Structure 1
């Protein structure tokens, strides 16, 4: 079901929606790793039979946003996507500590992905789900780049949402999606063990397996070779460029998740056109 709105109003609403969702992705990116660390610490203390730590509630909603340095609460005006950052001139209103440019950049990325989905796939409920997967990939890419973690709390719901998407909107493609989820996990699992047997090192983490499984659920098994080619190509180009531009990164492990996410965006936005191009090159 598509939504029919006057074109200027549609694009304004799409842009505002993308900015707001991008702002929420900042919360996810910032807080989910801390939530995981807190949970793992509590589980470790319980396993060692140590007394539980006294900790305050910390989740995506609590506590309210505050400056990480002076803990001054951020006002509603300063939370407005992009506007708040500009009004504060990129600094905390209380202690003048510089605010990370990550926040406006993620908001802009959220807006860009949202507008791109609507421009290519139209304004519909199916597009809203595609916006959701693109933003989840954005959060996973940044979390993995910063912490080398791909949280199950995002990858596993993403996998089930992909199967649900096909069950609802494309039931004839559901079998391909199920096989895609299974094959996506097993392919990288196989690469992981082959690399480990040959080198004695771990080339990637289990989160990468789950992320490719989630992409397989959204796109179906025919897209898996293309996803691997795209992600490996992007990883080689961007990784080499980063190490050449920043010598301090040489020899450091580069997470694979961001490149899988990029390949996922490309495949989701240009699915049929990309597959036609890929098949044409093969033939």
Structure 2
């Protein structure tokens, strides 16, 4: 992996650290809002940071060497060092996914520092949204809307001539899923999609452009359908599939399946 904006050990460390943060965010953010639906920014930050990391079983505070992504889990053989209760693999798999994403982004952007920074922002915001939606069926505006504006800003810097197309892509992405939800509401008297799904597709349009939307929707729908058939879940989080399709579009922009 030559001609990288960052050496691969740095990419690996960044991916592990960001994914570990995503895991903490997804675990604590919904619980913080459950206690108070409209906390101030200061209160929300305090709830995200406290209490310090601890074992979910015995509540013993974890030390720094017990918080190293992946390695701590391996060293402890998947069990709490204090109470020996088994620790799930969910966060470890998330951290490995983050490491793989960072390495793929390094490969994708090479020595392009701005592209790598934008790719990390895009990919790990999508990872946070996917993890939050999978755990809590929630795609917060505090992530989807800044992601949308960041996509338009990046486009204005890298391809100003394409900015109008990306604006239309954001509008069409939102309109497509919001319209489908409105039709479902009329026919079935209940929502078929959350408002966050429409905002997420709008953000993907802002980053990837108009012609990426059909492929994103097709891949996300196929992934969600296969998962629903396999798991027989009645309430399906669509955000992870949109996020995965958007990431595929960013990492392999020249590949078209349609």
- TM-score, length-scaled by structure 2: 0.90
Q: CA deviation at 1:101?
A: 0.8
Q: CA deviation at 1:4?
A: 4.4
Deviates more, 1:108-117 or 1:59-68: 59-68
Match of 1:194 in 2: 183
**Distance in 1 between the 2:226 and 2:27 partners?**
27
**Distance in 2 between the 1:22 and 1:57 partners?**
18
**Distance in 2 between the 1:99 and 1:217 partners?**
39
Q: CA deviation at 1:203?
A: 0.7
**Distance in 2 between the 1:145 and 1:126 partners?**
28
**Unmatched segments (≥5 aa) in structure 1:** 44-54, 244-248
Match of 2:25 in 1: 28
Structure ID, larger Rg: 1
Q: CA deviation at 1:41?
A: 7.2
Q: How does 1:80-95 map to 2 (within 5 A)?
A: 80-95=68-83
Q: How does 1:48-67 map to 2 (within 5 A)?
A: 58-67=46-55
Is the 1:204–1:255 contact (alpha carbons within 8 Å) kept by the matching residues of 2? no
Is the 2:4–2:107 contact (alpha carbons within 8 Å) kept by the matching residues of 1? no
Match of 1:70 in 2: 58
**Unmatched segments (≥5 aa) in structure 2:** none
1:119 aligns with 2:116: no
1:264 aligns with 2:253: no
1:240 aligns with 2:229: yes
**Distance in 1 between the 2:58 and 2:13 partners?**
30
**Are the structure 2 counterparts of residues 150 and 66 from structure 1 closer, same or farther at C-alpha, using a change threshold of 3 Å?**
same
SS in 2 for 1:60: helix
Q: How does 1:36-185 map to 2 (within 5 A)?
A: 36-40=33-37, 58-123=46-111, 124-185=113-174
Q: CA deviation at 1:60?
A: 3.3
**RMSD of Structure 2 on Structure 1 (CA):** 2.3
The count of corresponding residues between Structure 1 and Structure 2 is 254
**Distance in 2 between the 1:5 and 1:205 partners?**
39
Match of 1:50 in 2: none
